[in-house]
Amino acid sequence: MHNKAVSFNNFVILLEGGAAIKTSRRIREDEFEGTLASIKDVLLPIIGVDPNPNSSEYIVIGSIGKKKNPDDTSGDLDLGIDSNLFNVPMKEVSGYIYSLLSGSDEMITKLGFEPEINHLKGLNIVSIGWPINGDQNNGIVQLDLIPVADIEWAKFIYYSPDYKTSESKYKSAHRNWLLAAILAIRRMVLDVNDAGEVMDYDSPVLILSDGLYWHTKSYRGKLKPRLKNAAKISGSERFVTRDPQEFIDFALGSGYTINDVKTFEKLHQIISSPNFELYDKVDEIEEKFLEYITRANLERPSEIKRA
């Protein structure tokens, strides 16, 4: 099973490493620039994406290019592609990109071979076995093309710390799971039963590729009076924002900027301050965060002191 995404509690987060291209290997940091240059020269023009360095039509996702040592490796190479470039609904963008690349004579001619391509429809991702440094004799890396709803939003939510400057000890996923834990505490109870148990509630949901939404969830069951786990009510999704500053204001309250929440350490420092508007719920936030990272198989930050 492809492990590019893990989903629980309505939160979807990208993880490093993939398994959609069986012949792929890990890519070294010193192989990144040459491989990206090949992608920009060959692939991006075929799908109609501006390959220029200042292009706002794609971004590199993840820590590749930011690691300390030349022989540090990454499991794959991820590119976020602006879904607004294509005249199809966002959920259909990966399928459209797949149709452009699958069997492309131009790509086959320029590469000298036909790369393996997989369309992961459920994840809205296209995975390609791309030649490292543009030459298949160097090996193949898994290249994932990930449609995103907005490039500025993607730059914010997919931001990876610069490990060359020791900007953070942790992955970007740690920061995003902490944001998800904060959002979980902001749920709004809509109804309780006679025992005082929550039956229905509105929950803010972070979808990395798309932005912030409200979902309505319910514990009401058809066969049981109350389900063990709440289920999302179909059709209850309401878009809130994909503007980074508006998202920060929603999650943390006013007074914080994008630079204030770039890393897990910075975000944890904010919620640990008595000035944070949810400071009285920090224990609940950290408990939820630990639940998330345990299920995502991430290391526990030393900043979290609770048992």
The whole-angstrom separation of Cα 241 and Cα 254 is 15
pLDDT value for 225: 87
- To the nearest whole number, what is the mean pLDDT of the chain? 92
The whole-angstrom separation of Cα 285 and Cα 5 is 23
pLDDT digits (tens, 9 = 90+) for 15-56: 444 578 989 999 999 999 999 999 999 999 999 999 987 889
Q: Is 3 a residue whose pLDDT tops 60?
A: no
Beta bridge partners of 8: 11
pLDDT value for 55: 87
Q: Amino acid identity of 31?
A: E
Of 88, 238, 45, 267, residue with least CA distance to 178: 267
The whole-angstrom separation of Cα 45 and Cα 110 is 12
pLDDT value for 1: 30
pLDDT digits (tens, 9 = 90+) for 131-171: 999 999 999 999 999 999 999 999 999 999 999 999 999 99
The whole-angstrom separation of Cα 283 and Cα 267 is 15
Hey, is 232 helix, strand or coil?
Answer: strand
The whole-angstrom separation of Cα 103 and Cα 160 is 33
Of 193, 185, 199, 191, residue with least CA distance to 227: 199
Extract the tokens encoding 82.
């602006």
End-to-end CA distance of the chain: 33
Instruction: Given CATH 2.40.128, say whether it is the number of domain 5-148.
Output: no
Q: Where are the domains of the chain?
A: 5-148, 172-295
Extract the tokens encoding 267.
């975000």
Q: Are 3 and 50 in contact (CB under 8 A)?
A: no
Share of the chain above pLDDT 70, in %: 93
The whole-angstrom separation of Cα 206 and Cα 271 is 18
Of 42, 21, 33, residue with least CA distance to 64: 33
Residue 305: band (very low, low, confident or very high) from pLDDT cuts 50, 70, 90: confident
